[in-house]
């Protein structure tokens, strides 16, 4: 009988690889051997894995793959940010972005093809949703970027940080995201520390408890509004998990230690950026170990929002800072190549038919 089902080994973390090899009567160390080749050396051709016996290499060629996406575009921003458009085997495209800074290099990784959450100020939302990314498709973003950046296992680590802040809601693709983060943390994977991986969520409250148990990486939460009425409009998921529940879950997540949750707050002119909003935000975060990240809104075609003025952002910053809330204003990076927060769109077929529905609605009102 011929085995026609091939396993993409990128979908397996170390424990999964150990199982895969033991099912073939192989020792556990085969798992780390393969991981060193793939993630350390960037080798995906089983034929080149010279410390593995010829027989086993042949077996792997028949039973397994190391399927990498195709790089369809590779854009470099004037500020050094770099964005890759990656095509998966099924034709869907997603984006990953590298942001170099003096002290670190951060890779912004996507977790889904599109997004289901429909936040009103996000470009990914206007594109709709297609599907979850597999573990392999998530970890492949690091592999492609590391290779393109010339990162080697013994050399300088160009990707020192990962943020799960690309396309999609990571907590709605929980298992694959956690497994991929496991590979990022593994010494035979990318050897990152939990502190250097940040998962950003719009606030899927029940999964936060689970995440704390499974893989308590740094947490960022897309807050964007200090009250439920406004947040319902900006982040519709708030109707299901309102601010108070979300903040309680955040407190539990960081516990008594010294860790803080980063709250992202996109600055939308005339919407959520007044002095009163800032003061309300201070009150809202009382008792929560918080850091606030003010993100100047990045526009995209057909958006109804505008970015707050620099003066307004500065004033908002001062109110928070003056009240003792640790606040930073995020520098906009990569906007000349549409790689900034909220500008990632990829290319894929929307399965929710959101665009069509939106067009029908506007068609109706135009008549």
Catalytic positions, written as ranges: 95, 341
Q: How far is the CB of 259 from ligand SAH (least distance, A)?
A: 18
Among 49, 177, 202, 205, binds ligand SAH (CB under 6 A): 202
> Of 119-138, which residues contact ligand SAH (CB under 6 A)?
121-123
Among 11, 13, 169, 338, binds ligand SAH (CB under 6 A): 169
Listed residue (192, 44, 10, 42) closest to 107, CA to CA: 192
Run of H or E including 200: strand 197-201
Q: How far is the CB of 227 from ligand SAH (least distance, A)?
A: 17
Q: How far is the CB of 203 from ligand SAH (least distance, A)?
A: 8
Q: Kindly indicate which of the ranges 67-75, 117-125, 240-248, 321-329 contains the residues binding ligand SAH, using the contact rule CB under 6 A.
A: 117-125
DSSP-derived pairing of the beta strands 197-201 and 161-164: parallel
Cβ proximity to ligand SAH: between 17 and 341 the closer is: 341
Assess 263 for contact with ligand SAH (CB under 6 A).
Answer: no
Assess 107 for contact with ligand SAH (CB under 6 A).
Answer: no
Q: How far is the CB of 165 from ligand SAH (least distance, A)?
A: 4
DSSP label of 19: H
How many of the other CB atoms lie within 10 Å of CB of 282? 20
What distances in angstroms separate CA 132 from CA 38, 109, 138, one per listed residue?
23, 13, 10
- What HEC string does 142-194 produce? HHHHHHHCCCCCCCCCCCCEEEECCCCCHHHCHHHHHHHHHHHHCCCCCCCCH
Question: Whole-angstrom Cα distance, residue 129 to residue 95?
Answer: 14
> Of 16-55, which residues contact ligand SAH (CB under 6 A)?
none
Among 49, 140, 197, 341, binds ligand SAH (CB under 6 A): 341
Among 10, 162, 181, 295, binds ligand SAH (CB under 6 A): 295
Cβ proximity to ligand SAH: between 151 and 176 the closer is: 176
Among 200, 238, 262, 272, binds ligand SAH (CB under 6 A): 200
Cα angle, residue 11 at apex, residues 174 and 201 outer, rounded to 5°: 25
Tell me if 228 sits within 8 A of 186, measured CB to CB: no
Which single residue is written with the structure tokens 């170099």?
100
Q: Which two structure tokens, joined as six digits, stand for 32?
A: 């780390």
Among 97, 342, 345, 348, binds ligand SAH (CB under 6 A): 342
Would you tell me the crossing angle of helices 174-185 and 135-148 to the nearest 10 degrees? Answer: 40
Query: For the window 223-262, what string marks contact with ligand SAH as x by the rule CB under 6 A?
Result: ----------------------------------------
Among 297, 316, 317, 348, binds ligand SAH (CB under 6 A): 297
Q: Kindly indicate which of the ranges 9-17, 76-84, 118-126, 207-215 contains the residues binding ligand SAH, using the contact rule CB under 6 A.
A: 118-126
Q: Which two structure tokens, joined as six digits, stand for 1?
A: 């009988």
Residues 6+ apart with CB under 8 A from 105: 98, 99, 149, 157, 158, 159, 160, 161
What distances in angstroms separate CA 202 from CA 34, 46, 79, 260, one per listed residue?
36, 40, 28, 17
Cβ proximity to ligand SAH: between 41 and 309 the closer is: 309
How remote is the C-alpha of 239 from its chain's centroid? 23
Q: How far is the CB of 257 from ligand SAH (least distance, A)?
A: 22
Tell me if 174 sits within 8 A of 125, measured CB to CB: no
> Of 179-198, which residues contact ligand SAH (CB under 6 A)?
none
Chain residue whose CB lies nearest ligand SAH: 342
Assess 165 for contact with ligand SAH (CB under 6 A).
Answer: yes
Cβ proximity to ligand SAH: between 69 and 114 the closer is: 114
Cβ proximity to ligand SAH: between 34 and 234 the closer is: 234
Q: Which two structure tokens, joined as six digits, stand for 131?
A: 């599907």
Question: Whole-angstrom Cα distance, residue 235 to residue 175?
Answer: 23
Size of the site for ligand SAH (CB under 6 A): 16
Q: Which residues bind ligand SAH (CB under 6 A)?
A: 121-123, 165, 169, 200-202, 222, 264, 266, 295, 297-298, 341-342
């Amino acid at each position: 009988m011929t085995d026609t089902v091939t396993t993409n080994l990128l979908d397996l973390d170390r424990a999964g690889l150990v199982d895969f090899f033991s099912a073939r009567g192989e020792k556990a160390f085969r798992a780390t051997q393969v991981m060193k080749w793939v993630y350390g050396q960037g080798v995906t051709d089983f034929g080149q894995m010279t410390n593995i016996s010829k027989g086993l290499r042949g077996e792997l060629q028949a039973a397994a793959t190391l399927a990498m996406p195709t790089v369809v575009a590779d854009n470099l921003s004037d500020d050094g940010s770099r964005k890759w458009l990656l095509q998966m085997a099924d034709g869907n495209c997603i984006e990953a972005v590298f942001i170099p800074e003096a002290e670190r290099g951060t890779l912004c990784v996507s977790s889904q093809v599109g997004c289901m959450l429909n936040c009103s100020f996000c470009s990914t939302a206007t594109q709709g949703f297609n599907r979850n990314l597999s573990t392999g498709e998530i970890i492949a973003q690091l592999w492609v970027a590391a290779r393109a950046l010339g990162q080697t296992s013994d050399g300088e680590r160009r990707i020192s940080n990962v943020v799960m802040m690309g396309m999609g809601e990571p907590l709605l693709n929980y298992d694959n995201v956690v497994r991929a983060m496991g590979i990022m943390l593994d010494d035979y994977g990318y050897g990152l520390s939990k502190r250097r991986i940040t998962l950003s969520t719009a606030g899927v409250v029940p999964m936060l408890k689970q995440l704390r148990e499974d893989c308590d990486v740094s947490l960022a939460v897309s807050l964007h509004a200090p009250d439920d009425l406004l947040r319902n409009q900006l982040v519709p998921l708030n109707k299901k998990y309102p601010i108070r529940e979300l903040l309680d879950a955040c407190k539990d997540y960081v516990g008594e230690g010294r860790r803080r949750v980063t709250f992202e707050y996109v600055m939308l002119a005339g919407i959520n950026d007044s002095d009163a909003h800032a003061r309300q935000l201070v009150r809202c975060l009382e008792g929560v170990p918080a850091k606030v990240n003010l993100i100047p809104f990045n526009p995209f075609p057909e958006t109804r929002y505008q970015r707050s003025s620099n003066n307004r952002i500065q004033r908002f910053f001062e109110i928070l800072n003056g009240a003792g809330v640790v606040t930073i204003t995020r520098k906009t990076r990569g906007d000349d190549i549409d790689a900034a927060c909220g500008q990632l769109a990829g290319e894929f077929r929307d399965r929710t038919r959101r665009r069509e529905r939106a067009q029908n609605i506007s068609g109706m009102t135009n008549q």
